[in-house]
Chains A and B, each alone.
Chain A
Amino acid sequence: MKVVVDEDKCCGAGQCVLIAPEVFDQREDDGIVVLLEPEPAVELHGQVREAAAVCPAAAIEVVEPA
């Protein structure tokens, strides 16, 4: 799995950090998403999919292996 985030779309809601804190963080100076793990471990995949599904700005893209 590969994760891509769009900083311009991000509205700083913080849902991704609440759901998958090992994969996502927010910048201290403006609350915008920081991707900690572009290729998260398998046990985190469920959290990452949930974070992407509920992101209010649709700023997280998950690329699943073919």
Chain B
Amino acid sequence: MSVNERVLSYPIPVEAALEPPAEWAELRGACPVAHVTLPSGDRARLLTRYEDVKQVLADPRFTRLLNAPDAARLSDTEDGGLFGSEMAAIIPDSGEEHQRWRRLVGRWFTAKRMSALRPAMARIAEDLIDEMVERGAPGDLKASLGFPLPVYVICDMLGVPAADRERFSYWSDTLLNLTRYGKEEVEAAQAEFFQYMSDHLAARRAAPGEDLLSELIAAGGPEEGGLSDIQILVTGMALLVAGHETTANMIGKMVSMLLADRSRWERLLADPALVRTAVEESLRMDANSGFGLPRYLKEETEVAGTSLPRGTTVICSMAAANRDEGAFEAADRMDLSRSPNPHLAFGAGAHSCLGQALARTELQVVLEVLLRRLPGLELAVPVEELRRVEGLAVGGLQTVPVRW
């Protein structure tokens, strides 16, 4: 049976940790609006072409209201996991309300603010690398560097203690993992996380700091152009989760891709000015970026000549779109100097990733420091032995064993 006729199980299982599933090319070619079954058992449509994914992500008719009664549930926990939860709906989805939220929070993530954080990020990266080297080779680059660095940075921005990072990590995982945890465990974790953030905000109200959450509180309520208490709380939780798993996993995947063919690493050693474009190309090439972005359709619409009824849930695979030959020349080749590189790793349109300047800066700084400090870095296992984390909405590798 061709991909055109069958209903694929989604996410599509893949053997190789860094390679895309063979189905992507087939789907882009013959079945750009495919039928899929989600981990919950519910049905959705999967988009894999660059133009379609870009168009849908920027189209306000495709909403993020995955808590609608007829929207597909992603996981089999009752509320459908992170995207479908009541909490996700507290941040405004569209229009002026969304724009106001976006701008209040977005001012904390400007390119200039992120550039100002570079020296501090570089110091954290150097310390973490020193500690990894001290423990001796081989080391796990993910646990030693990839995970802690973004966590320290986001904790500092939010004014929450990095010492609590093990708990944040667990809460993030329960929110982002679509298959590993049962309903009761997810609900208990969410309640704990909610209480933690609620206590943290109460403490900040009493004794404000210079962090993002203190400033959101200081901006006043909705009538003063600020956010409501519950919106601040959910924003804090969302930023903590988003700042955790995404860049943390991407650091390990980026370094693995660059070391998988060591001529890439050597090219960067010879020309560190390529770091910026190499980071973008790693984001584009990431075949293990996770679930993709789900959207819920509030009115009938057409995508790639296929009519989609109201109530359809669509999954946008940015990773498949980023391998589209129609959008990128030699799309399967990793070109460290590719420019321009309009990949969709951070989404597109009004909802494109709020923290993308932070993520980019962290990835660039990590790569610069690694090239300088550990030029002899190499994978300590054959690339075939790298294993994906299963079930996570944000894709990652279980470990990234390296020596230097």
Q: Does B29 contact A (CB under 8 A)?
A: no
Within 8 A of A (CB), among B33-86: 58
Q: Which residues of B contact A57 (CB under 8 A)?
A: 58, 348-350, 352
Q: Which residues of B contact A25 (CB under 8 A)?
A: 112
A13 to B111, CA, bound (A): 8
A41 to B197, CA, bound (A): 49
Q: Which residues of B contact A14 (CB under 8 A)?
A: 109-112, 114, 356-357
Q: Does B340 contact A (CB under 8 A)?
A: yes
Most chain-B Cβ atoms within 10 A of its Cβ — which of A13, A28, A30? A13
Q: Does B388 contact A (CB under 8 A)?
A: no
Q: Which residues of B contact A53 (CB under 8 A)?
A: 340, 342
Kindly count the residue-residue contacts between A and B in the assembled complex, taking CB atoms under 8 Å apart: 78
Within 8 A of A (CB), among B138-166: none
A31 to chain B, nearest CB (A): 4
A57 to B339, CA, bound (A): 18
- Contact status A56-B352, CB under 8 Å: yes
Question: What mask results when residues 14 to 38 of chain A are scored 1 for a CB within 8 Å of chain B, else 0?
Answer: 1101100100011111111000000
Q: Is the interface of B mostly helix, strand, loop or mixed?
A: helix
Question: What mask results when residues 341 to 362 of chain B are scored 1 for a CB within 8 Å of chain A, else 0?
Answer: 1100011111111101100100
Given contacts A25-B112, A26-B111, A49-B340, contact A12 B348 (CB under 8 A): no
Question: What mask results when residues 99 to 115 of chain B are scored 1 for a CB within 8 Å of chain A, else 0?
Answer: 00011101101111011
Contact size range, A: 20 to 34
Q: Which residues of A contact B351 (CB under 8 A)?
A: 11
Given A15-B357, A17-B357, A18-B357, 11 additional A-B pairs, CB 8 A: A11-B349, A14-B109, A14-B111, A15-B111, A18-B115, A25-B112, A27-B107, A28-B110, A29-B107, A31-B106, A58-B58
**Footprint of B on A, CB under 8 Å?**
9, 11-15, 17-18, 21, 25-32, 49-50, 53-54, 56-58
* 7 closest residue pairs by CB, A with B: A14-B111, A30-B103, A53-B340, A17-B111, A56-B352, A31-B106, A14-B357
